[in-house]
A = this chain, B = another copy of it.
Amino acid sequence: MNMSLRASIAREGRDVTPRMIAATRRLFAPLLDLADAGVLRDVPYGPDVRHRLNLYPGSDAAARPVLLFVGGGGYDQELWPDAEAGPDNVAAMAANRGLVGAAMHYRLAPEHRFPAGAEDVARAVAWLRDNVAEHGGDPLGIVLVGHCTGATHVGGYLADPALHVGPGAGIAGAVLMSGIYDPRHAAADDGAMAYFGPDRRNWSQASCAAGLLSSDVPLLFTVAELDPADHQTQAAQMVGAWGLAHAAYPQMHLLAGHNHVSPVLSVGTPERGIERLILDFVARVTA
């Protein structure tokens, strides 16, 4: 990352606050450099009002890999509604780079509790498998990209075979960015209490850590140098457990200079490190 951007990010610290998110957006929004590739907005993928996704179709009938972005914000809120940049930038980037892109909403706590997020990922994947071919996408080439809460929901989907919509969870791979994988070892904030329920003794069922370790879906993880302590600890625990389970180092990338939200916001700007990491992974698992 260029040094001035890195210094600006560092100045905002690692606490994820509305101020920090807004400041990080202001750094990247003016850099966004994506062509308007056309978008179908608020396509329903299920019965709930939040079962909606934005679809950035391919420009012809080729069977392109499909990137489905599942953004973060919290279990009881989304960053999306007031976004100046992102998370649609990830799906728009995909369409700009020759893929089909999609970005989904999901149901929120307190109305909808665990595993609603994971169920919604399943629904969106099922919808894409049924419908993406007519938009230039390959139903067998779907890659999920989850960030923060979105990574938790993608992990929840991968970890529960009962939700899987096909063999190998019906996807070619998944990117998990700064997720919480085992909520028992993370802060029990209001959003987590609302989503996982008031009795923490039940939260063990909500951990996707063991499920990710035994998944046969190709996984790419990221953690940011300026992620909050919980997110860093979760990533470190995943790496340690992965080493024990597989006698191997996982595809866990430490994103130098980035804070919790900047990796997503950098996608589609000339700061292409994160974008390349995602696109290289998509190319590898859909080859």
Contacts and interface: CB of A to CB of B under 8 A. Distances in A.
Interface stretch (A60-68, A146-154, A236-244): A236-244
Interface string A225-237: 1010100111111
A92 to B, nearest CB: 25
Interface in A258-286: 280
**Copies of this chain, count:** 2
A250 interface: yes
A34 B248 CA distance: 35
A103 B250 CA distance: 31
Interface string A108-132: 0000000000000000000000000
Contact of A236 (B223, B225, B239, B256): B239
A229 B254 contact: no
A25 B255 CA distance: 29
A236 B251 CA distance: 11
In this complex, the member of A229, A241, A249 whose beta carbon has the largest number of chain B beta carbons within 10 angstroms is A249
A229 B246 CA distance: 9
Interface of A: 223, 225, 227, 229, 232-237, 239-244, 247-254, 256, 280
Given A225-B251, A236-B239, A253-B254, 6 more contacts: A223-B249, A227-B249, A236-B249, A237-B244, A239-B240, A251-B254
